[in-house]
Amino acid sequence: MTDEQPQEKYVYREPGQIPAQTPPPTKVLTDFTKKFKSKIPAISKKKVITLAIVLLFLLTAVLAINLLAQKQQDQAPPAPRQITADEPSPSENPSNAEIAKRVGELTAKLDNMIDYGKKVQYPIVDLAISFDK
Amino acid sequence: MPANSLIINRLSSIVIALLLVFFANFSPIFAQTQTPLEKAQADYNFQYTKYKDSQEAYYTSKASYMSFKTAIAKTDAYNKTKAYLDQTDQLYLTFIALLKEYANSINWDKTDLQKETFAKLSQTEIDYITDHKNRVANTKTLEELPPLADELKTHLKDTTEPTFNKNLAMLELAQVEATLSDFNSLSRILDRIVIFKLRAGETQAVLSNWNSEIASIRTSTEKDVQDAKTKLDSFKDTSLSSGQLNEISNYTQDGQSELKRSKPLFEELVRIL
pLDDT tens readout for residues A41-66:
666 788 888 999 999 999 999 888 88
DSSP B98-142: HHHHHHHTS-GGGSSS-HHHHHHHHHHHHHHHHHHHHHHHT--SG
- Asked if residues B156 and B111 have their Cβ atoms less than 8 Å apart, the reply is no
- Asked if residues B142 and B96 have their Cβ atoms less than 8 Å apart, the reply is no
Q: How buried is residue A12: exposed, middle or buried, by Cβ count under 10 Å (0-12/13-18/19+)?
A: exposed
AA letter at A126: D
| Cβ within 8 Å, pair A59-B21 | yes
B positions 33-62 inside 8 Å of A (CB): 48, 51, 55, 58, 62
pLDDT band at B269 (very low <50, low <70, confident <90, very high): confident
More confident residue, A47 or B87: B87
pTM tops 0.80, yes or no: no
SS3 B72: helix
Give yes or no for B214 touching A (CB within 8 A).
no
Which ranges constitute the DSSP H helices of A40-95? 45-74
Of B81-95, B160-174, B180-194, B238-252, where does the model show the most confidence?
Answer: B81-95
Per-residue pLDDT for B40 more than 50? yes
Please, which residues have CB within 8 angstroms of residue B47's CB and are 6 or more apart in sequence? B87, B90, B91, B94
The per-residue pLDDT for range B4-39, each reduced to its tens digit, is: 667 666 766 666 666 666 666 555 454 558 899 999
- Asked if residues B195 and B187 have their Cβ atoms less than 8 Å apart, the reply is no
Residue B9's pLDDT is 67
Number of helices (H) and strands (E) in chain B: give both, helices first. Answer: 9, 0
Q: Which of A69, A125, A131 sits opposite B88 (nearest CB)?
A: A125
Q: What percent of chain B is modeled with pLDDT above 70?
A: 88
How many angstroms separate the CA atoms of A38 and A30, rounded?
12
More confident residue, B103 or A20: B103
Residue A133's pLDDT is 63
- Asked if residues A129 and B149 have their Cβ atoms less than 8 Å apart, the reply is yes
More confident residue, A15 or B54: B54
Q: What percent of chain A is modeled with pLDDT above 70?
A: 56
Give yes or no for B97 touching A (CB within 8 A).
no
pLDDT band at A73 (very low <50, low <70, confident <90, very high): low
- Asked if residues B99 and A120 have their Cβ atoms less than 8 Å apart, the reply is yes
Residue B259's pLDDT is 96
The torsion defined by the Cα of B63, B64, B65 and B71, in degrees rounded to 10, comes to -170
The per-residue pLDDT for range B149-200, each reduced to its tens digit, is: 999 999 999 999 999 999 999 999 999 999 999 999 999 989 888 888 888 8
